[in-house]
Amino acid sequence: MLFFFVFLFLIFTVPFVFWGGIYVPSKEEKIKKLIELAEIKSGEKAADLGAGDGRLIIVLAQKGIEAHGYEINPMLVWKTRRNINRAGLKGKAFIHWKNFWYEDLSGFDIITVYGIGYIMKKLEKKLRKELKNNAKIVSNAFSFPAWPHIKEENGVYLYKK
């Protein structure tokens, strides 16, 4: 039985280390800062790019807004779906087993990301092109190379389109 679970872990996790970003969960204090800087308003819609285990989309949904996460690791998507159900947020928090690079993000008011340095230039171009005016982007740890942030606190950056 243990062999079966190890096998599943290897085939569903290891390829994503090379295909997508490495999973590093956001710390609680960073999530609080992301939420604070986002200045959430009723009726807004948020997307977390590289949602991992969904902890941020769950907090966003608990704040009363519709929250979507994009994650390419199927094991993390499964875990997030389970966490959303346990939190009683079905219909408010959503996880998509999709690559956010191929998604249109124009319908979102808030984008959160805990990316990695080498993606930020490409992500900056995508968000500048797709997001509506006044959309907010909150980035954990990594900043955009050419887009000046409007606020930075404890390594969390806030941008506005």
The arithmetic mean of pLDDT across residues 57-75, rounded, is 96
Give the DSSP per-residue string, 89-104.
-BTTEEEEES-GGGS-
Closest CA to 19 of 68, 69, 76: 76
Its pTM stands at: 0.87
Give Cα separations from 134 to 45, 115, 159 (angstroms).
13, 22, 9
Cα 148 → chain centroid: 21
Tokens of 100: 């956010």
Which pLDDT score is estimated for 22?
A: 72
Predicted confidence band of residue 117 (pLDDT cuts 50, 70, 90):
confident
φ/ψ of residue 138, rounded to 5: -120, 120
Look at residues 83, 145, 150, 143 and name the one whose alpha carbon lies nearest to residue 113: 143
Q: Identify the helix (H) or strand (E) that includes residue 9.
A: helix 2-19
Determine which of 8-17, 70-79, 82-91, 96-105 has the lowest per-residue pLDDT on average.
Answer: 8-17
Q: Is the pLDDT of residue 8 over 70?
A: no
Confidence band of 116 (pLDDT split at 50, 70, 90):
confident
In order of start, what are the domains of the chain with their CATH numbers?
Answer: 28-160 (3.40.50.150)
Tell me what pLDDT residue 25 has. Answer: 75
